């Protein structure tokens, strides 16, 4: 999008470098507004947001920043495995380093799928610095539908060429990325994972967006997010929409974020 400028960045952390991109809309107003930080899903990365960050920056008049978590996309490899605390740990690890490096005094946390859970953790951990929270297709707990969706994906990834498609975005880290999703979520000690404690610590306004046909979670997830956060909240259920609303119904997601942010942050 020619009217939005973009810049690639490398953030140095003790665990390795994180790749990030920022999109700046035209004009000077963005500098007075809290930047939107995008947190990607379990197989995601900056590149897989595609045109959405630029369109979101233009619509909201805010700087938008997306980054690859350690082990994903163009960031450095992850040295180990993810444990049951990995969602909450991102708020104190990669995200904290990003916020400090870019001197983000105020931010809007916007996360998709497991990135939505991480956005909740970031809003809880960084308190007054987070002016608003947007979750999209976030899981608030481990649901039977979530497990069924992951098992179906596990089967699909056994087909020829599927891992190679993932390698297009993650390079030789692709097998680790797939394992980090499937093996972590299917581990017995992850079965009782939930976001309740972090949700109760979120004091900023929260918007929970969810597709009614989401194959990885029912509408119980946005309902639980909206019910448990301490700040004002709203849930938006998109009809005839699956797990990736920003790709399936981008105008609906962008319009919802634009109008809601204008009112609350």
Calculate the average pLDDT of the chain.
Answer: 96
pLDDT band at 30 (very low <50, low <70, confident <90, very high): confident
CATH number at 13 reads 3.40.50.1820
Residue 1 has pLDDT above 80, yes or no: no
Per-residue pLDDT tens over the stretch 106-147 = 999 999 999 999 999 999 999 999 999 999 999 999 999 999
Pairing of strands 64-67, 16-24: antiparallel
pTM above 0.85, yes or no: yes
Range 170-187 average pLDDT: 97
For residue 3, CA distances in Å to 50, 141, 159, 204 come to 16, 40, 41, 31
E strand or H helix at 261 = helix 250-264
The number of domains in the chain is 1
* b/e burial code for range 229-245 (CB count within 10 A of at least 16 → b): beeebebbebeebbbbb
Per-residue pLDDT tens over the stretch 211-259 = 999 999 999 999 999 999 999 999 999 999 999 999 999 999 999 999 9
- Domain carrying residue 98: 5-264
**Euclidean distance between CA atoms 21 and 46, whole angstroms:** 7
Residue 151 has pLDDT above 80, yes or no: yes
Which three-class secondary structure state does DSSP give residue 12?
strand
Range 5-32 average pLDDT: 94
Per-residue pLDDT tens over the stretch 88-117 = 999 999 999 999 999 999 999 999 999 999
């Amino acid at each position: 999008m020619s009217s939005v400028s973009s810049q690639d960045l490398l953030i140095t952390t003790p665990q390795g470098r994180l790749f990030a991109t920022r999109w700046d809309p035209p004009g000077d107003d963005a500098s007075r507004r809290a930047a939107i930080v995008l947190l990607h899903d379990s197989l995601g990365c900056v590149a897989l947001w595609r045109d959405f960050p630029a369109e979101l920056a233009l619509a909201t008049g805010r700087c938008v920043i997306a980054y690859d978590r350690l082990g994903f996309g163009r960031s450095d490899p992850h040295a180990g495995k993810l444990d049951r605390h990995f969602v909450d740990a991102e708020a104190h690890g990669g995200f904290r380093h990003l916020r400090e490096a870019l001197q983000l005094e105020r931010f809007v946390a916007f996360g998709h799928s497991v990135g939505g859970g991480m956005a909740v953790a970031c809003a809880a951990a960084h308190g007054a610095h987070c002016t608003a929270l947007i979750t999209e297709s976030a899981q608030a707990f481990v649901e039977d539908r979530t497990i069924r969706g992951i098992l179906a994906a596990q089967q699909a990834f056994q087909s020829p060429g599927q891992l190679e498609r993932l390698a297009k975005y993650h390079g030789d880290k692709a097998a680790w990325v797939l394992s980090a999703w499937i093996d972590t979520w299917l581990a017995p000690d992850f079965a009782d994972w939930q976001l309740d404690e972090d949700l109760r610590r979120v004091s900023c306004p929260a918007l929970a967006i969810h597709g009614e046909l989401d194959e990885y979670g029912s509408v119980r997830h946005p309902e639980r997010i909206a019910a448990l956060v301490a700040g004002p909240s709203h849930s938006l259920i998109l009809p005839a929409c699956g797990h990736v609303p920003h790709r399936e119904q981008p105008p609906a997601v962008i319009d919802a974020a634009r109008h809601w942010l204008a009112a609350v942050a």
